[in-house]
Amino acid sequence: MGFARACSVALVGVDGVVVEVQADLEPGVAAFTLVGLPDKTLVESRDRVRAAVVNSGAAWPQKKLTVGLSPASVPKAGAGFDLAVAIAVLGAAEVVDPGAIADLVLIGELGLDGRVRPVRGILPAVLAAAEAGHRQVVVPQQCAAEAALVPDVSVLGVRSLRQLIAVLTDGVVPEEEPPDPPGRPDPILAGLLVPGAGLGTGLAPGRPGGDCTDFPDLADVTGQHTARRALEVAAAGGHHLFLSGPPGAGKTMLAERLPWILPPLTRQDSVEVTAVHSVAGILPPGEPLVSRPPYCAPHHSATMQSLVGGGTGVPRPGAVSLAHRGILFLDEAAEFHSRALDALRQPLESGHVVIARAAGVVRLPARFLMVLAANPCPCGRHTLHGSGCECPPSVIRRYQSRLSGPLLDRVDLRVEVEPVTRGDLLGQGGRGESTAVVADRVRAARERAGARFADTPWRLNSEVPGQELRTRWQAAPGALVQAERELERGLLTARGLDRVLRVAWTVADLRGRDRPEALDVAVALELRTGVARGAVSMTGAGT
């Protein structure tokens, strides 16, 4: 009778639980029993592991074999347990030293020929192992760079079970030749990407000043001075933005340029974003760490589950999580289902989403900058003079009411995007500022805010509670008189007043002021209510 154990990790969303894989051999009829709430993929590992062990040159024990996954109450899913199951079985059969594998964390899928195939979610799995006190992990060689992002953890990347057995038995490690000719894509990497799981997520190929210069430049946008300044304020303070205007005015063009004026992700943010993308299966091979803010633009036919997360079994990340620390762009926002849009209200406030399903409750990060774009009516010509809009008033009201008041109340900036004039289109108004120039101002404004919030849990003005802004960081005397007057008239809600104050602080940071003044609050009110007051056109965000 033999017994051995190894460790692996079960992922629940982007959180991991270390699982002890126990193998027990007893005399009796040869059989292989797997217990511990495995899913269908994990149940099939019995055949994969047996074939992989035999094809790796090791003898399969002809005894009664029971493999238990502990804790048994945690659901286990996926093929990432194959490697741990195989090594635990070999330890019980004394092919490898059971003591050497007791605290070893192994993650990887096994092919029938013994090759170790990469799996999704390596980074959050290794993070969970490190938090549990494990310091040695074995992963597929293709995922070793991703696992190495976790500090203080020794990572061993292997290409086959044969190589791992040689390492554990102090033998000669064989060289594994790639099965395909050079230059052809490695079919083993297919397990890292899930087709169609991106939901419109794009990781931009470069940044201004980087190696790649093929990026959307803000200078390509003609006219739209108010919208451009609102875009800059949104990027500097992390404020949500609503762009309303007729078709062809440049709403999508502006939104697509917003990620390029955002600063690069910090190390902590990069790890968070990489973990979500790794679990979702959209982490590009060869790019173990996402360093740029993601950009997620789901189609307006997206369901509520695809936006906030869900699916059968253990819930998967949705668009709000794929856009974590980046941009969630909802084009044609009025065409989205109202239930899907209202489901965004909770993550907009909390920065995370909690999904409850029969298989368990998952908490996923969802700290994103939302950009809504919509036409004023179904035909899009309602705000154009002499355009011939024939939409009845009832249809226009019904169309605009698809964006509920509670959702819009959480949007700090609301801008009417006017049609481009002939002079702007022909370049008579001069070329606008480039992305690099605006990005420098945004970076400087974020540094000012970061210094102000150095010893607090907040980093951006949009994250600070209104109570703190009214007591700890106060505006200049008399600066809020106009905003308070509109609160009394019912034009602003209490939440709206707090958001005006947050935007005013961002405008002050962009202008290099120590605190907001009356003109900064006027700019914030104009960007919040959409009522022209001349403040934005007089000052701009960066002057």
pLDDT tens by residue, 167-178:
999 999 998 776
pLDDT for the residue numbered 179: 56
Angstrom distance (rounded) from CA 63 to CA 258:
62
Closest CA to 325 of 281, 285, 266: 266
User: Rounded to whole angstroms, what are the CA distances from 484 to 30, 423, 465?
Assistant: 79, 39, 18
| Residue 210: predicted pLDDT | 41
Any idea which residue has 């803000």 for tokens? 218
Residue among 47, 50, 55 nearest 93 (CA): 50
Residues 128-151: what's their mean pLDDT? 95
504-524 average pLDDT score: 93
Q: How many CA atoms lie within 13 A of 420 on its CB side?
A: 20
DSSP state of 76: B
Return the higher-pLDDT residue of 175 and 440. Answer: 440
Q: Above 70 in pLDDT, residue 314? A: no
> In whole angstroms, what is the distance from residue 43 CA to residue 78 CA?
9
Specify the pLDDT at position 198: 46
Q: Is pLDDT above 60 for 514?
A: yes
Helix (H) or strand (E) holding 304: helix 304-308
pLDDT band at 419 (very low <50, low <70, confident <90, very high): confident
Taking only the tens place, the pLDDT of each residue in 348-390 is 989 999 888 776 788 899 999 999 999 988 888 877 766 678 8
User: Which contiguous run of DSSP H or E holds residue 374?
Assistant: strand 369-374
pLDDT score for 193:
57
Which residues does residue 160 pair with via DSSP β-bridges, in sequence order? Answer: 115
Q: CA 136, CA 106: separation in Å to the nearest integer?
A: 9
CA-to-CA separations, 272 to 112, 199, 291, 452, in angstroms, rounded: 33, 18, 11, 24
pLDDT over 80 at 157, yes or no = yes
Average pLDDT over residues 107-120: 94
Average pLDDT, the chain: 87
Close Cβ partners of 534 (under 8 Å, ≥ 6 residues apart): none
Q: How many angstroms separate the CA atoms of 529 and 489, rounded?
A: 13
Per-residue model confidence as pLDDT tens digits over 198-226: 444 555 544 444 444 457 888 888 878 88
Cα dihedral 495/297/230/290 (nearest 10):
100
- pLDDT value of position 329: 96
Asked if pLDDT for residue 529 goes beyond 90, the answer is: no
Residues 6+ apart with CB under 8 A from 107: 8, 9, 80, 83, 84, 119, 122, 125, 126, 137, 138, 139, 140, 143
Q: Are 297 and 258 in contact (CB under 8 A)?
A: no
Chain segment 225-284, per-residue pLDDT in tens: 889 999 999 999 999 999 998 888 889 999 999 999 999 999 999 999 999 999 888 887
Task: Tell me how far CA of residue 150 lies from CA of 102, 144, 284, 475, in angstroms.
Answer: 21, 11, 18, 42
In contact, 371 and 258? CB cutoff 8 Å: yes
Question: Is residue 303 pLDDT above 70, yes or no?
Answer: yes
* Neighbouring-strand partners of residue 363: 354
**Tens digit of each residue's pLDDT (9 = 90 or more) over 453-468:** 998 999 999 999 988 9
HEC profile for 140-192? EHHHHHHHCCCCCCEEEEECEHHHHHHHHCCCCCCCCCCCCCCCCCCHHHHHH
Provide the β-strand partners of residue 115: 160
- 474 within 8 A of 491, measured Cβ to Cβ: no
For 193, phi and psi rounded to 5 degrees?
-115, 135
Q: Hey, CA dihedral for 444, 447, 452, 457, is it positive or negative?
A: positive
37-51, 231-245, 428-442: least confident range? 428-442
143-146 long-range contacts, CB within 8 A, separation 24+? 143/107, 143/108, 143/118, 143/119, 143/192, 145/288, 146/122, 146/274, 146/278, 146/283, 146/288, 146/289
Min mean pLDDT across 137-141, 309-313, 416-420 is at 309-313
Of 282 and 286, the structure prediction assigns the larger pLDDT to 282
Please name which of 228, 245, 216, 226 lies closest in space to residue 387, comparing C-alpha atoms. Answer: 245
CA of residue 356 relative to chain centroid, distance: 19
**Region 139-154: what's the mean pLDDT?**
94
pLDDT at 440: 95
Whole-model pTM: value is 0.87
Q: Are 126 and 94 in contact (CB under 8 A)?
A: no
**Averaged pLDDT for residues 188-193:** 59
pLDDT at 325 over 70: yes
Q: What angle do CA 288, 290, 291 make, to 5 degrees?
A: 125
pLDDT at 208: 41
Kindly indicate the confidence band of residue 537, based on its pLDDT and cuts at 50, 70 and 90: low
